Amino acid sequence: MREKNRKRVRKILLFISLILLFIGMTAMSFILLHRYAEYGKEASVNMAEPEDEGDGKKRETAPAKTSDKKEKEETTDIFLKKLDPGKTIRVQILGDEYRTEYHETLTVTAKSGIIVSSGKKRQIIPSGEIFHIFHAEKMTDETDENSLEAVCLAADQMVSLETADKEQPLILPELIRGQKNPSYEGKIEVYGTEEGLLVINEVDLETYLQSVVSSEMPSSYPMQALCAQAVCARTYAVNCMNQSEEKKKTADLDDSVSYQVYNNYPGDELSAQAVSMTEGLVMDCSDVYYYSTSCLTKGRTDLAREKNFRKFLDIPPEKGAEYGSPWVRWSVELPKEQILNELRELYGCRWERLSYVKVQERTPEGQVQSLSFSDGEEEIVVNGEYQIRCVLSCARTGIQLMDGSTAENLQLLPSAYFYIRKNEKKLESSGEPQTAASEEEKSGAQTSEDVPDSSDTIFICGGGYGHGVGMSQNGAAAMAREGAGYEEILKYYY
């Protein structure tokens, strides 16, 4: 019995020993595998590490290059952000030549049928037919408001129009724009108000931008300049959309120079390409502006003094400056009576004569910020570059450009980078003034704008076209011609 028990105990001990041996071998295997794995990692690091160049320094490693690339991408992402696709924008379509906010009537047609919706009512206008929308206050005896092709809107009424074929645009054949028979994709909403018809075009943002780029920048400009314009226009539009959403406005912006010009000329292949190449990209900026031509004062901080600015402006610009734009320098002779009419209309003055015009304040870059007018007894001070350009309107006066050509029908003075002379001084094609400075200017005495002038006109010498804030479009074109990409152009200006 005891012998049996001893055999049983030996068997149990042997079994336990085998189990312990198995556990030990398994543990040892895990340890060896782990050490092998660690050795493999160490070996791959050593294999990737560069050798000494002999001076104790090591070549740049591959991981460092990857890090640099990542850092560059992050920097780009901070400057340019991509929008979610499918955004639409609401654009108010102003009247003929952008002169009025409202329309008395509106005619619409399309190559496909037009779907007209008003509340729960819905009708189809056959393809090629003209559909008329009238304002209730402008109805005539000849207007048949019961016609299928006409509708009359009173205040607080609205109709929506879109084409049956989404590929076809709506055409407004009687609206006066730079292009004949301007057409609009998306849908058009027409609201009746007490003042007239308010017209809104709701359209895909990227489609909208094609007609902005073609209307704001010549298609002959380099593609990278067009791309920079597309990003600027998109950023500006999105900022307007965000502000409109906060204020719950009917439209995000209008189609005139008060915002950015839309569909004065149709989108073309090049503007479409620029929009496509920059699809969805916007700058991380709250204020994005652009203008046509610089006065070439960027970076200057000494032009607030009248004497400095005059001297600067009289120096002929370099050949080809601002992509060869003739607007780099210009001059205009304005009748005093014309200026008086603007002062009467805008500020209600009753002056019979204009004694002198005087610059009160300039920015460090030379832009006029404050301008005073006097009849010899009273004075009116106009502040802000836009208001100053309105008072000095050139609507009925030709502007002489640097290349000898004349520009007509400008509602505003081209820019607020100008000075005023008592004696006439016109520009040759080289940009060099024809007449010498007056003796009083040579001596540094009181300038001609400070003293009463008995002539019937004032003569203005200026440079640049536009408000001078943000990106110069001609400057962007010049940079692109020299090989700059659109991101480089944007970073330079913003």
How large is the C-alpha radius of gyration of the chain?
36
Helix, strand, coil content of the chain in percent (nearest 5): 35, 25, 40
**Summary mean pLDDT of the chain:** 82
pLDDT score at 246:
80
Tell which wins on pLDDT, 70 or 394: 394
CB count within 10 Å of CB 454 equals 7
pLDDT score at 30:
57
- pLDDT level of residue 220 (50, 70, 90 thresholds): very high
Q: Is residue 91 within 8 Å of residue 262, measured between CB atoms?
A: yes
Lowest mean pLDDT among 62-76, 222-236, 338-352, 435-449: 62-76
**What's the burial of 22, exposed, middle or buried (CB within 10 Å: 0-12/13-18/19+)?**
exposed
- pLDDT level of residue 418 (50, 70, 90 thresholds): very high
Give the CA dihedral 409, 414, 416, 419, nearest 10 degrees.
-90
Quickly tell me which residue has 């030379």 as its tokens. Answer: 366
Give 120-135 pLDDT, tens digit per residue: 889 999 999 999 999 8
Q: In the chain, what percentage of residues exceed pLDDT 90?
A: 64
Give 347-375 pLDDT, tens digit per residue: 999 999 999 899 999 999 999 999 999 99
Kindly list the domain boundaries of the chain, sorted by start residue.
88-289, 306-435+446-466
Give 63-73 pLDDT, tens digit per residue: 333 334 333 33
DSSP 191-232: EE-SS-EEEEEEEEHHHHHHHHHHHHS-TTS-HHHHHHHHHH
pLDDT at 60 over 60: no
